[in-house]
Structure 1
Amino acid sequence: MDILLIIINLVIFLTLIGALMLLKKRNVKFSYRVMIGLLVGLVFGAMLQLIYGVENTVITTTTDWMAIVGDGFVRLLQMIVMPLVFISILGAFAKMDMQEKFLKSGVKIILILLGTTAIAAAIGITAALLFNLDASSLNLGEAENERASSLETSAQEVEDQTLPQQLVSLLPANPFLDFTGERATSTIAVVFFAVFMGLSLVRLVKSNPDTGEKVRGGIVAVNEWVMQLVKIILALTPYGIFAIMANTVATSDFQAIYDLGLFVIASYAALIAMFLVHLVIISLTGLNPVQYFKKTSETLLFAFTSRSSAGTLPLNIQTQRIRLGVPSSIANFSGSFGLSIGQNGCAGIYPAMLGIMIAPAVGIEVNATYIITLIAVTVIASLGIAGVGGGATFAAIVVLSTMNLPIALAAVLISVEPLIDMGRTALNVSGSMVSGTVTAKTNGQIDKDVYNSHNLDELTAEV
């Protein structure tokens, strides 16, 4: 009987995917199809849980097969991350006229990313205090205990290093190893390697113009080649988002979400507050924050659903270039740097909230000194946060271990991680786009006509 029910569920699942394909043939806009996929996945997942329940064998097997589409899409996004980060930064150098522009723009982007992370940490701390969050009242179940053991194992590598040693580890001793994503800090290592390669390109163009121009042309060509791969992957977005949302809703433990509801509410209060700060920052530069919201909403929705800052990188860069009027070089820098430096949600709000929650459980007084130290550690730890799943966990491990707080208590939040991670990822991407937009505006390089236009051009070409 179970096998028959599983087959029926999968037939419905495939039928819904077929319906999404039909929408493409009828030339329905890409953004509309993504939204439809999200909503249909939400309804289908809710129906599966309502009919079978979370722990039923039918739903477990059904979602396992459905994950071929959802998890497969995420793995394809992960596949393009390192090549895209590397070639985006090199491409930015190849399209740049002078080295000074990089120094001015690059430093400004990094300062904005770190500055907004400090604000995000302060907001996370404020939310935790206002909602009186205290981890000492939370109990660890079997799944949480397994997660706690895993976190403690991961923390051993961090605890064995001093903070200066952790910063040194961000540099690529073996860039080819980092291209495999072997280390937690591989993304930032690839960013550094690409920057050094870009600086060497600038020197080459000056010292040997003929050879330099050939290399520059080759980089631009490879950049276009990689972007064609990106378009192939992004064309699968409606189907991937549908499967991801269906699986997430079907397997969510709503009782656990209810039990930890205060933390979820506090988290989203902090995330929304920080997004409003982004809008304030935009307005302080003289740009219309409503325009920013309208033009970035589609990309933020993609980030929210996919839970991957790195997977959103192509849309991030295109949104800045096509809709916000940010020059290609600045968009590439801010998009790539934003993957691993100063993620406002995963590396700002989340670890700061945990630092406040866990302190009372171990008898640490939350005073002004503790709060200032926590913000400083959070900002420093935000260097090198991975942009594809697990970044928030790595940030939490670094911050909590540096503050001498127990890692295991963070495991109690495992059941609500997917729900919160959606909002965190969207905020990460917004912070990246804000850094690019503000940098372009203060440099006097933003195209105001593009920014102020009401035309929402498609972000990805159909394949």
Structure 2
Amino acid sequence: MKLVSAWLAIPFWQRVVGGFVLGALAGWAFGPAADTWFGPLGELYVTLIKMIAVPLVFFAVINAISALHGQKSVAALGGRTFLWFVVTAALAVCVGLAVGTVMQPGAGHFGLQVDAAWKPRDVPRAIEVLLGVVPSNVFYALAGIGTKTNAAGETVLAAGRGSILPVIFFAGLLGFAMVKLGDKVAEARKLTGQMSAIMIQVTRFVLEVTPIGTFGLIASLVGSYGFGKLLPLGNFVLALYIACIIQIVVVYGGLLLAHGLNPWKFFRGASPGMQVAFVSSSSFAAMPVAMRSITHNLGVNKDYASFAVPLGASIKMDGCGAIYPALCAVFIAQYTGVPLSADQYFVVLIASVLGSFGTAGVPGTAVVMATVVLSAANLPLEVIGYLYAIDRILDMMRTATNVTGQMVVPVLVARETGLLDKQVYDAAATNVGVEVHDAHDA
């Protein structure tokens, strides 16, 4: 027990950073064998996070909507949240275009080869995405079962291919039904709140595996990639990372300052969610950590956060859906030697902002979004194939940006609507898992 208490006494972020550093060293030392030896640790961690995500969101959304006392309150908060999603996405596109124009990552890369693993992705129609929000089978949606096309061209059921949007939709209906029925379902509402609290506690337990999962994921990544695949496209990697850092520090930080909030406090409190997003490359996997970060560390109202964060994890993708497609467009224009016109810049802006919402819940969002934007701007799609070999490296920073945006918008809206506990925000804790006193209680 003393050993557990000593482990928990170490700040969460320090444990995660320690796992990151040790993982990088292990990957460098073991080379490709690191994926075999340590990769399963990372895979197990991501699986654990995904395991809790659907029940956490399901009960949290029901509890949140039933506690927000009616459709008018939910609609007002939802509209304000969506507006900030659009504004920050537009700013992210502008950052991507500006960084690409200044750094010129596509200059001097003639002769690049399309990666052998690259396959073009079909872009879903907007009506297909909208229809997909309503589940035809609720139990399939809750089980994460979706569809895929097999080798014969047939559409078949597949585990792990479902979207979180149908879960949010169905949970929302149940929440509104509870509001409508009022005291008749008081016990059901109480049970939902209890289940939500249980899932939050389960999340805290699972998050304690984060340092070990980080070690496995980073060891596998460094061992598999080395530096050979990074050097030829290093300028693009650097440009993407710089653009994402500008979006996080300058854009998000500036918006926080404009709302009278200390950006450093936000980044400190949000760091667990950002760390998990970076190492897992999954907004869905980071969602439980993001919810815990902005409520426990930053003082956002739990009911509102339970509604806003899952919504953001589905449609708020500043890294994958805004910065990356914009940077891809500039990259291919420079590669082909054809400058983008003012009309094409405008098309990239509109397609990126609107397209990110139109491809909500689609696996491989960055690839789909790049396809949408390049097609809209009449640019060749092969650029995505050039970059596919280093996509894992790119996806880490893209996802960290996604999740940071998914956390900053609820903080801004909570500040505007009185749903932010300023004292908790200013304290800016960094732990999101099991705490020392929990270990003593166990």
Q: Same fold (TM over 0.5)?
A: yes
Q: Which runs of no fewer than 5 residues in structure 1 stay unpaired?
A: 1-20, 50-58
* Contact preservation (8 Å) 1:120, 1:348: yes
Q: Do structure 1's residue 271 and structure 2's residue 252 form an aligned pair?
A: no
Give the letter for the 2:197 counterpart.
E
Q: Does 1:421 align with 2:395?
A: yes
Q: How does 1:45-194 map to 2 (within 5 A)?
A: 45-49=27-31, 59-60=32-33, 62-134=34-106, 137-141=109-113, 144-147=115-118, 150=119, 152=120, 154-155=121-122, 158=124, 161=125, 164-174=126-136, 175-179=138-142, 180-182=144-146, 186-194=163-171
Offset at 1:282? 0.6
CA distance in 1, matches of 2:387, 2:145: 26
In the superposition, the TM-score normalised over structure 2's length comes to: 0.86
Which amino acid in 2 is paired with 1:244? L
Q: Which moved more, 1:165-174 or 1:330-339?
A: 165-174
Instruction: Please state how far the C-alpha of 1:33 moved relative to its aligned partner.
Output: 2.2
Kindly tell me the number of residue pairs found equivalent between the two proteins: 418
Give distance in 2, aligned partners of 1:247 and 1:89.
Answer: 35
In the alignment, is the contact (CA less than 8 A) between 1:188 and 1:384 conserved in 2?
Answer: no
1:286 corresponds to 2:260: yes
| One-letter amino acid matched to 1:453 | A
Q: Is the 8 A contact 2:53 2:285 kept in 1?
A: yes
Q: Which amino acid aligns with 2:166?
A: A
Q: Structure 1 stretch 292-301 or stretch 115-124: which is displaced more?
A: 292-301
CA distance in 2, matches of 1:261, 1:47: 23
Q: Which of 196, 199, 203 is the equivalent residue of 2:176?
A: 199
- In structure 1, what residue type is equivalent to 2:296? I
The verdict on how the C-alpha distance between 1:295 and 1:231 changes in structure 2, with shifts beyond 3 A counting, is: closer
Structure 1 residue 132 displacement after superposition: 2.0
User: Per-residue CA shift, 1:247-278, capped at 9, x if unaligned?
Assistant: 11111141221111110111111111111210
Q: 1:294 to 1:178 in 2, by over 3 A?
A: same
Question: Secondary structure of the residue that 2:420 maps to in structure 1?
Answer: coil
Superposition deviation, residue 99 in structure 1: 2.8
- Cα distance in 2 for partners of 1:367, 1:380 equals 20
Conservation of the 8 A alpha-carbon contact between 1:271 and 1:424: yes
Q: Secondary structure at the match of 2:380?
A: coil
Report the alpha carbon displacement of residue 390 of structure 1 after superposing the two structures with TM: 2.6
**Conservation of the 8 A alpha-carbon contact between 1:342 and 1:348:** no
Pick one of 19, 30, 33 that aligns with 1:37.
19
In the aligned structure 1, how far is the partner of 2:316 from the partner of 2:22?
34
Contact 1:114 1:341 in 2 (8 A): no
Shift of 1:199: 2.4
Per-residue deviation, residues 89-115 of structure 1 (Å, max 9, x unmatched): 222113323432211111111111121
Q: Which amino acid aligns with 1:250?
A: G
Question: Contact 1:124 / 1:350 at 8 angstroms: preserved in 2?
Answer: yes
Compared CA separation, residues 126 and 264, structure 1 to 2 (3 A): same
- Tell me the CA shift for residue 324 of structure 1: 1.4
CA shift at 1:30, angstroms? Answer: 5.4
Whole-Å separation in 2 of the counterparts to 1:169 and 1:355: 29
Indicate conservation of the 8 Å contact 1:170/1:189, yes or no: yes
Q: Residue 457 and residue 230 in structure 1: after superposition, are their counterparts in 2 closer, same or farther (change >3 A)?
A: same
**Aligned AA for 2:180?**
R
Q: In 1, Cα distance between the equivalents of 2:340 and 2:410?
A: 35
Partner of residue 151, structure 2: none
Q: Does 1:355 align with 2:329?
A: yes
Q: Which string of whole-angstrom CA distances, capped at 9 and with x for unpartnered residues, describes residues 157-202 of structure 1?
A: 53xx3xx435534422424444425267822333333333322332
The CA RMSD over aligned residues, in Å, is 2.7
Q: Does the CA-based 8 Å contact 1:170-1:185 persist in structure 2? A: no
Percent identical pairs in the alignment equals 28
Question: Aligned equivalents of 2:222 and 2:308: distance in 1?
Answer: 33
Say whether the 8 Å CA contact 2:315–2:357 is kept in structure 1. Answer: yes
Preserved CA contact (<8 Å) 1:299 1:315 = yes
Q: CA deviation at 1:224?
A: 2.3
CA contact (8 A) 2:205 2:433 kept: no
Identify if the C-alpha distance between structure 1 residues 26 and 225 changes in structure 2 by more than 3 Å, giving closer, same or farther: closer
1:68 partner amino acid: P
Structure 1 Cα separation of the partners of residues 377 and 305 of structure 2: 35
**Structure 1's 26 and 173: CA in aligned 2 closer, same or farther, altered over 3 A?**
closer
**AA of the residue aligned to 1:165:** I
1:222 to 176, 182, 195: 195
Does the 8 A contact of 1:33 with 1:238 survive in 2? yes
Q: Secondary structure at the match of 1:225?
A: helix
Corresponding residue for residue 55 of structure 1: none
Residue 440 of structure 1 and its aligned partner are, at CA, apart by 0.7
How far apart, in 1, do the equivalents of 2:423 and 2:268 lie? 15
Aligned to 1:247: 220
SS in 2 for 1:254: coil
TM-score (norm 1): 0.82
- Distance in 1 (alpha carbons) for counterparts of 2:297 and 2:164: 27
- 8 Å Cα contact 1:81-1:311 kept in structure 2: yes
AA matched with 1:42: A
Q: How does 1:378-417 map to 2 (within 5 A)?
A: 378-383=352-357, 390-417=364-391
Q: Shift in Å at residue 453 of structure 1? A: 2.5
Match of 1:8 in 2: none
Q: Is the 8 A contact 1:350 1:392 kept in 2?
A: yes
Over 3 Å counting, the alpha-carbon distance change for 1:375 and 1:26 in structure 2 is closer
Change (3 A) 1:265 1:447: same
Q: What is the CA distance between 1:380 and its match in structure 2? A: 1.3
**Residues 1:403 and 1:369: Cα distance change in structure 2 (over 3 Å):** closer
Contact 2:58 2:167 in 1 (8 A): yes
Deviations 1:134-160 (A, max 9, x none): 389454547x0331xx2x2x32x53xx
* Selected match of 2:405 from 431, 435, 443: 431
Q: 1:314 aligns with which of 285, 288, 293?
A: 288
